[in-house]
Amino acid sequence: MRPAEALRGRQVLIVEDEYFLAEDLAAYFHGVGAHVVGPAGTVADALRLVESREVDAAVLDVNLRGQHVYSVADLLQKKAVPFVFASGYGGELEPAAYADVPRCIKPVDFPTLAAVLADRMKPGKH
Amino acid sequence: MSDRISRSSDAQDADFLRLIFESATDFAVFAQDKSGNVIRWNVGAQRLLGFTEAEILGRDGDVIFTPEDRAAGAPEQERVKASSTGRSENERWHQRKDGSRFWGSGILMPLRTGDGYVKIMRDRTAQHAAELELKESEARFRLLATSIPQLVFRSHWDGSRTWGSPQWEVYAGLSNLESQGFGWLEAVHPDDRELTLARWREAQSSGEYYVEHRIRRAADGEYRWHQTRAKPAGTTPADWVGTSADVHDMRSLQDRQQILLSELQHRTRNLLALVQAIARQTLKTSTSLAEFGRQFEHRLAAMSRVQGILARTNHGPVDLREIVAAELAAHGAADLAQVEGPTASLAPNAAQAIALALHELATNAVKYGALRQSSGKLAIGWHTRQSQNENRVVLQWRESGVSIPDAPGGKRKGYGTELIERALPYQLNAITSLEFTSDGVRCTVDLPLESPT
């Protein structure tokens, strides 16, 4: 299955504090047929969206205005929602709890990111 | 045995003793009468002391003592002790016939007849030298072990400890007695104990012990990283000597360096992502490749300026005035604008976004507004305000005396407009307004100041 198909009609949460990057990501996911939730630029906004909206998958920037996104990641894990990190961090300092979460290093190639996320959404992957 | 001897004849006994006396050539055996004159002298005595039996018989046997010991009355003291206790054992320097000296270890016993003494002595010069050497080396080891900052220990091959230096006792707060055997493990971090012991097992084959583990500093209870090494270095291969060196600060520095490196990579990657986003935005609003090239280059230049400022402040807070001045200077407008405002510290990400916004405003003013027309005026001012529990700054860009023939149109709804109206509120929690009035551009950006940490 091509990533575009896996994401079609799915609710994809975008968490990214850089406006233009968030907008570009949203435009890309919209372009492949996904419904974009957000984008959220803060941990608080992201948590609110995860709690109040239906979310099938998520793209998380790790550092949001100096705050770590891990509380959002924890909530997603609890809800069994697949997600990937899109970050400038290489993962060297990442808590071990997220060792098996895929990571796309910025600057992110959107099709690659979508493919990683789609793979994550395969049944039994999460 | 004693039964058989008691049953043997006196003649047999005398013969038995004579044979021992004559054949014990490694031992000097001789007898003196009560005044010290030699009455018996064996071959061993001749070999050790240089006097033949003929030379010494009837003479004062005390000549084998050094003059110092004789002056101090040592021979007499030995005899007194032998008489009162039955024996006197002594180790001291003696003197041969030729004046050379040797370390003699001997025993003096009174004859049962009560009229003299017998002395049995042997040369232990070599052993004595070895013992002295060992003592000195031991003293040197102790001096070294107790004067270096490392914690020194001795242990058996399996890591069971026999001695810890005073530094160890103080550092770990465990006495030598408490550290004995595996008592020292008490000072090792519980999570590191298994590794610490496993390495001792491995050391058997490698012949060398090495581990990095945390040792508790008794003074403040802090577990600090140590490098512990040991090697077989005692008098037998089963004796090991080791040291533990505090490498905690070094490790912290390494960790910090790793964090700094990671932060640097993070910044670089984010910056590249931002450059990519700016390129995409510029591409969207450009009508030609030439226009794209010009605009993109100018925006990169603005990014580069603010990065330069951030590098100088080491990515700490930046004064708003510095950013305003840099943007005006870059547009040749350093003296054309009226700038007024107090010190206002911006966080690095805010400084970057505000610099890009100011760049868009200045570019627009140079192209169409106050920085193009001689009648135009530009005032840039700011003031701080308190809002709930945060400090904010309100930055105002005011152009006036500008005549814009066309009504403000859609063509200026480009990157700059989106940056100010959308990106700043999203990224910085800013409140913004942007108006293209007939008198010129008016822009207000109300954003949080760097919160002091």
**What confidence tens digit (pLDDT) does each residue in A75-110 have?**
999 999 999 999 887 766 677 788 888 888 888 889
Residue A63 to residue A60: CA distance in whole angstroms: 9
Residue A90 to residue A105: CA distance in whole angstroms: 7
Mean pLDDT for B296-303 is 94
Q: A70 - beta bridge partners?
A: none
Residue A47: CATH number of its domain = 3.40.50.2300
Chain A residue numbers touching B453 (CB-CB < 8 A): none
Residue B257's identity, in one-letter code, is Q
Domain ranges of chain B: 2-123, 148-246, 253-448
The reply to whether A6 falls in a domain is no
CA distance B257 to chain A (A): 12
Find tokens 């999460």 and name the residue.
A126
Chain A residue numbers touching B269 (CB-CB < 8 A): 87-88, 105-107
Q: B359 - beta bridge partners?
A: none
pLDDT band at B143 (very low <50, low <70, confident <90, very high): confident
pLDDT band at A67 (very low <50, low <70, confident <90, very high): confident
* β-pair type (B390-400, B377-387): antiparallel
| Phi, psi (rounded to 5 degrees) for B106 | -140, 170
The reply to whether A120 falls in a domain is no
- Whether the CB-CB separation of B82 and B119 falls below 8 Å is answered with no
Say whether pLDDT at B376 is over 80. yes
Q: Which fold has domain B2-123?
A: Beta-Lactamase (3.30.450)
The reply to whether A59 falls in a domain is yes
Q: Structurally, what CATH architecture does the domain formed by B253-448 represent? A: 2-Layer Sandwich (3.30)
Residue-number span of the structural domain to which A59 is assigned: 13-113
- CA-CA distances (angstroms) from residue B244 to A29, B153, B225, B226, B321? 57, 8, 10, 6, 54
The reply to whether A125 falls in a domain is no
Class at the top of the CATH hierarchy for domain B148-246: alpha beta
Chain B residue numbers touching A21 (CB-CB < 8 A): 273-274, 277
Residue A54 to residue A57: CA distance in whole angstroms: 9
Mean pLDDT for A52-71 is 91
Going by the DSSP 8-state scheme, the letter that residue A108 receives in this structure is: P
Residue B355 to residue B363: CA distance in whole angstroms: 12
The sign one gets for the Cα dihedral B49, B50, B53, B57 is negative
The reply to whether A123 falls in a domain is no
Which residues 6+ apart lie within 8 Å of B254 measured at CB? none
CA distance B440 to chain A (A): 27
Nearest Cα neighbor of B395 from B330, B334, B319, B291 is B319
- Whether the CB-CB separation of B167 and B152 falls below 8 Å is answered with yes
Cross-chain Cβ contact A88/B427 below 8 Å? no
Which residues 6+ apart lie within 8 Å of A48 measured at CB? A40
- Can you give the pLDDT at residue B245? 94
CA distance A12 to chain B (A): 19
- CA-CA distances (angstroms) from residue A119 to A116, B203, B438? 5, 47, 54
User: CB-side exposure of B220: number of CA atoms within 13 Å?
Assistant: 3
Cross-chain Cβ contact B273/A18 below 8 Å? yes
- How many structural domains are present in chain A? 1
**What confidence tens digit (pLDDT) does each residue in B192-240 have?**
999 999 999 999 889 899 999 999 999 999 999 999 999 998 667 788 9
Tell me, yes or no, if the two domains B2-123 and B253-448 fold the same way.
no
B16: tokens are 């038995």
Cross-chain Cβ contact B270/A93 below 8 Å? no
**What confidence tens digit (pLDDT) does each residue in B99-139 have?**
999 999 999 999 888 889 999 999 999 999 998 988 888 88
